[in-house]
Chains A and B, each alone.
Chain A
Amino acid sequence: MTSATFESAVQATLQREVQVRLRRYLKLAIYGAIAVAALWYAAVQIKLSFGALISGVPFMWDFITRLFPPDFSYLSVLGNATIETIQIAIWGTLLAILLSIPLSFLGARNTTPHIIVFHLTRLLLNSLRAINELVFALIFVSAVGLGPFAGVLAVALHATGMLAKFCAEEIEGVDKGQVEAQMAAGATRMQVILFGVTPQIIPQFIGYAIYRLDVSIRSATVLGFVGAGGLGFSLIQTMKLFKYHQTATCIFVIFLLVLVSDWICGKLRRKVI
């Protein structure tokens, strides 16, 4: 390149840089204005108000002072409920793992037997995730009666929706080369899944399952609100009876439970992955 053409190329690119930048700023301004307008409208609709928050502080403070001191004698009553909460979470997650293994293969584009099966599976998984555990719990309480079994089913279904979706996406992202090698060897579809796909996704699947157990323990603590077993029942009961010192004990136990489960699940995950 001669020095004259070099200079003109540099100048032209510098000018284009200004144009490109201005166009980007314009785009940013337009989208930014739309976003601000939408957020503002939403804030008005949902009555976002710092005034209300600040004027509510004394009431919150009043509630908190009523919680203290926690009634630790109530701990002996909570023992069974705590264990029940953990049991609900473990069984719910286990059922979800079992259900999500076939569902995730059916719901991944590259392993599904048919595109219609894929869409139906995804639809099912989306609806499972769309429905909150508490709603599921209400349904199952009326189906199988009050108690922890309804809670187990609620946790299992919601967790299946999440686990299978994550796992299906993981399956879709596997390295194609490893799959191709199995196909080239004349492997059947099932053999390809067994030897080419499964080894690639096992660490991620275990990671998601452990994370899900952690989430399940949290959600199992509130299932008792609708009579599906666990600590939530004691929590709502003591509140309704205005025994706030006992409510405080419940909250304390839930806090401890979540802390310990987070710690254990974190340890487990580091070990596996």
Chain B
Amino acid sequence: MLMPNTTKTKTILSVQDLTKSYGGAIHALRGINVDVHEGEFLVILGPSGAGKSTLLRCLNRLVEPTSGKILHNGEEITGKRVNLRALRQEFGMVFQQFNLVKRLSVLTNVLTGRLGYRSTWRSLFYNFSKEDKKIAIESLARVNMEHKAFQRADTLSGGEQQRVAIARALAQQPTIILADEPVASLDPKIARQVLNYLKQVTHELGITVICNLHQVEYTREFAERIVGMSRGKVVFEGTAEDLTDEILHRIYYKDPDEEEKNGK
């Protein structure tokens, strides 16, 4: 395999010509090509409806892409023959609305991160092994939420819930975390706190993060690399310094098809 440069830019995920259309009429993704480097904090920036969530969900196959390929460490993970359960162990996910099970305790919620490793009948009575509990509590402690372990999830504030959701993703011991607008429903102070936790903890553990955001400031603050999306296409790739007003205009206001027609 062709590997430019050093180990720092080892490609963990490679998205090639990925498309997704719904019912043949609505094209959410129109030929996406992106490489994700191991250990980086990659932000996918774009307006609502650009296809960011669809792209993220194609990576762990919550959404089936229409065509194209995704390679994970050089191995294809698209197509019917992939073991989804094994694949999803590798990808932790953090959601905009946190998606904690409200009636379960914080600890049980984090323990659900271990379900991918356990058979159904072994979790039938909500029993988990001591080892799983240790992993879950460690994950909680990493986001400083272990003191709320035995409360019901719906007693926590939004920021706390998202930290628990991050712990749930960590408990999976993933190599990649997919964060879909993780701070869209939080106020600026709490949002920064949550993004700090996400970035710091994943950095410590060497986990790659792909984080969807629509806010430019947070992107500038946290992104190590940025992929800009607009109407199902990648329109920018670079760092925070490259993110000029002109590029922001291209991401948020321009129609990428117009641009192509006019020869840029």
Contacts and interface: CB of A to CB of B under 8 A. Distances in A.
A168 B146 CA distance: 42
Contacts, number: 28
Contacts of B133: 14, 17
A14 B137 contact: yes
B55 interface: no
B18 interface: no
B137 A13 contact: yes
A13 B144 contact: no
A18 B37 CA distance: 41
B156 to A, nearest CB: 16
Given A14-B133, A14-B134, A9 B141 contact: yes
Contacts of B142: 6
A14 B141 CA distance: 11
Contact of B141 (A6, A16, A20): A6
A16 B149 contact: yes
Contact of A1 (B141, B147, B149): B141
B128 to A, nearest CB: 10
Interface in B132-169: 133-134, 137-138, 140-142, 144, 146-147, 149-150
A20 B140 CA distance: 17
Interface string B110-144: 00000000000000000000000110011011101
Contacts of B141: 1, 6, 9-10, 13
Given A1-B141, A6-B141, A16 B150 contact: yes
A124 to B, nearest CB: 34
Interface in A1-35: 1, 6, 9-10, 13-14, 16-17, 20
A20 B138 CA distance: 18
B144 A17 contact: no
A12 to B, nearest CB: 8
B127 to A, nearest CB: 10
A20 B137 contact: no
B107 interface: yes
B134 A10 contact: yes
Interface residues of A, number: 9
Given A17-B107, A17-B137, A10 B149 contact: no
Contacts of A9: 141, 146
A112 to B, nearest CB: 29
A20 B149 CA distance: 10
Contact of A10 (B107, B146, B150): B146
A1 B150 contact: no
Contacts of B150: 16-17, 20
B110 to A, nearest CB: 11
Given A16-B150, A17-B149, A10 B137 contact: yes
Contacts of B144: 1
B253 to A, nearest CB: 32
A142 B118 CA distance: 66
A26 to B, nearest CB: 15
Nearest to A11: B137
Contacts of A10: 134, 137-138, 141, 146
A16 B144 CA distance: 16
Interface in B150-200: 150
B205 to A, nearest CB: 13
Nearest to B133: A17
Contacts of A6: 141-142
A1 B144 CA distance: 9
Contacts of A17: 107, 133, 137, 149-150
Nearest to A19: B150
A17 B111 CA distance: 12
A62 B142 CA distance: 72
A204 B150 CA distance: 37
Nearest to B134: A14
Among A1, A9, A10, A13: residue with most chain B CB under 10 A: A13
A16 B141 CA distance: 14
Contacts of B140: 13
8 contacts: A10-B141, A13-B140, A13-B149, A14-B133, A17-B107, A17-B133, A17-B137, A17-B150
Closest 10 CB pairs of A and B: A13-B146, A13-B137, A9-B141, A20-B150, A10-B141, A10-B137, A10-B138, A9-B146, A13-B149, A6-B141
Interface of A: 1, 6, 9-10, 13-14, 16-17, 20
Given A10-B138, A16-B150, A17-B133, 5 more contacts: A10-B134, A10-B141, A13-B146, A14-B134, A14-B137
